[in-house]
């Protein structure tokens, strides 16, 4: 594949038959924003906010966070910026937050679990900054919660958003409620996706974590790397279930794990019904080109064939037999 000379498309793209697919970038620090824009990203589909907390000794305050979120919105005044609330634990550590020693950190206190527990104060501060940025920034801000496993966690997170909004109201500070979403990264979230989608604007599938949890194969363990195949029907069926739940409840659904950035999988993902794909910026031009080469009827056929496959190898065969040579 010649990937280096793919044309950069600054405009939003559609499939060959006119279906709009948002192609956004995953961003891990402010320095990446301009590069994402330069490669034609429609917006930011995953802004990982851990960087705000790294390489320092104390957490950033509300104003520092507010400025950071405004900067992202200013970079994409016509697009959407999806900020993920702080997601630590497991593979993501911040020394001064003193995470507990756990036998199984990937099954422990991470993501939203910490935000609803020991890091509740940080969660509130972050939400205050986000609600203020939603009111003051150009562009559209969206906020999503990582590693949700149950509707109860979503309820608690949404209650915190309401409490933060009430406090800002009482203080006379301008705020707006951004679009709100849940990451689908656990089997619990897949099986309760209808209840989750009912109460938010969107879902976003984090296939890095979802694959590890569906396959019970830890992200950093090379010995089980082969099991972590996001093309496996076990993972694809989880994706399909989340998509169906979202669309039945008028929520949009995106994908922001590594899988979304593989142009060989674009047709399949469009066929599965994803509305948005978010990836590291380098792959945006290739995925935009792949979207334009896709026809939704063929994509839907490919997706049903893949969902009926029994093995990852069969899925790969089906992809290869339908994808035109690029």
Is residue 206 a contact point for Mg ion (CB under 5 A)? Answer: yes
Residue appearing with tokens 């049903």 = 304
Q: Is 219 annotated as a binding residue?
A: yes
Is residue 236 a contact point for ligand PEP (CB under 6 A)? Answer: no
What is the three-state SS of 46-77?
EEEHHHHHCCCCCCCCHHHHHHHHHHHHHHCC
| CB of 168 or CB of 251, closer to ligand PEP | 251
Rg of the chain, C-alpha, whole Å: 19
Is residue 286 a contact point for Mg ion (CB under 5 A)? Answer: no
Residue appearing with tokens 């990836």 = 279
Question: Using CB under 5 A, which of the segments 168-176, 196-204, 205-213, 247-255 binds Mg ion?
Answer: 205-213
Q: Which residue is nearest to Mg ion (CB)?
A: 209
* CA distance linking residue 99 with residue 86, whole number of Å: 14
Q: Is 104 annotated as a binding residue?
A: no
Taking the complex as a whole, the smallest distance from the CB of residue 205 to Mg ion amounts, in Å, to 10
Question: Given CA atoms 312, 314, 315, 319 in this order, what sign does their dihedral have?
Answer: positive
State how beta strands 44-48 and 80-84 pair: parallel
Sites for Mg ion among residues 146-165 (CB under 5 A): none
Is residue 254 a contact point for ligand PEP (CB under 6 A)? Answer: no
Is residue 25 a contact point for ligand PEP (CB under 6 A)? Answer: no
Is residue 209 a contact point for Mg ion (CB under 5 A)? Answer: yes
| Residues 87/146, Cβ–Cβ less than 8 Å | yes
Q: Is 185 annotated as a binding residue?
A: yes
* CA distance linking residue 174 with residue 185, whole number of Å: 33
Is residue 230 a contact point for Mg ion (CB under 5 A)? Answer: no
| Residues 215/228, Cβ–Cβ less than 8 Å | yes
Q: Which residues are catalytic?
A: 256
| Residues 26/256, Cβ–Cβ less than 8 Å | yes
Question: Which entry of Mg ion, ligand PEP, none binds 256, CB below 5 to 8 A by partner kind?
Answer: ligand PEP
* CA distance linking residue 65 with residue 295, whole number of Å: 41
Sites for ligand PEP among residues 159-188 (CB under 6 A): 185
Taking the complex as a whole, the smallest distance from the CB of residue 206 to ligand PEP amounts, in Å, to 3
Is residue 46 a contact point for ligand PEP (CB under 6 A)? Answer: yes
Q: Is 128 annotated as a binding residue?
A: no
Tokens coding 319: 């992809």
Is residue 209 a contact point for ligand PEP (CB under 6 A)? Answer: yes
Q: Is 48 annotated as a binding residue?
A: yes
Binding residues (CB under 6 A) for ligand PEP: these are 46, 48, 185, 206-209, 256-257
- Binding-site positions for phosphoenolpyruvate read 48, 84, 208-209, 219
């Amino acid at each position: 594949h010649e990937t280096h000379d793919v044309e950069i498309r600054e405009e939003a793209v559609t499939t060959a038959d006119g279906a709009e697919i948002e192609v956004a970038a995953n961003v891990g620090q402010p320095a990446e924003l301009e590069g994402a824009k330069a490669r034609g990203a429609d917006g930011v589909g995953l802004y990982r906010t851990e960087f705000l907390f790294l390489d320092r000794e104390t957490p950033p305050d509300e104003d520092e966070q507010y400025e950071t979120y405004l900067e992202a919105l200013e970079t994409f005044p016509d697009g959407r910026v999806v900020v993920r609330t702080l997601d630590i634990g497991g593979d993501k550590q911040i020394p001064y937050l003193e995470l507990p020693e756990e036998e199984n950190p990937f099954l422990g206190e991470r993501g939203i679990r910490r935000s609803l527990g020991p890091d509740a104060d940080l969660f509130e501060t972050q939400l205050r900054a986000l609600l203020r940025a939603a009111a003051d920034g150009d562009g559209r801000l969206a906020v999503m919660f990582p590693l949700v496993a149950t509707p109860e966690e979503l309820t608690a997170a949404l209650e915190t958003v309401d409490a933060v909004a009430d406090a800002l109201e009482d203080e006379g500070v301008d705020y707006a409620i951004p679009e709100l979403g849940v990451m689908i990264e656990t089997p619990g979230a897949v099986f309760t996706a209808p209840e989750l989608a009912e109460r938010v604007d969107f879902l976003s599938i984090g296939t890095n974590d979802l694959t590890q949890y569906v396959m019970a194969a830890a992200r950093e363990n090379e010995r089980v790397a082969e099991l972590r195949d996001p093309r496996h029907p076990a993972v694809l069926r989880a994706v399909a279930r989340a998509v169906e739940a979202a669309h039945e409840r008028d929520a949009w659904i995106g994908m922001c794990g590594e899988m979304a950035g593989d142009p060989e999988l674009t047709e399949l993902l469009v066929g599965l019904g994803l509305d948005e794909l978010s990836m590291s910026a380098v792959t945006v031009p290739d995925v935009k080109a792949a979207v334009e080469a896709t026809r939704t009827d063929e994509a839907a056929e490919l997706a049903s064939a893949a969902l009926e496959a029994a093995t990852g190898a069969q899925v790969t065969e089906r992809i290869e037999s339908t994808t035109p040579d690029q």
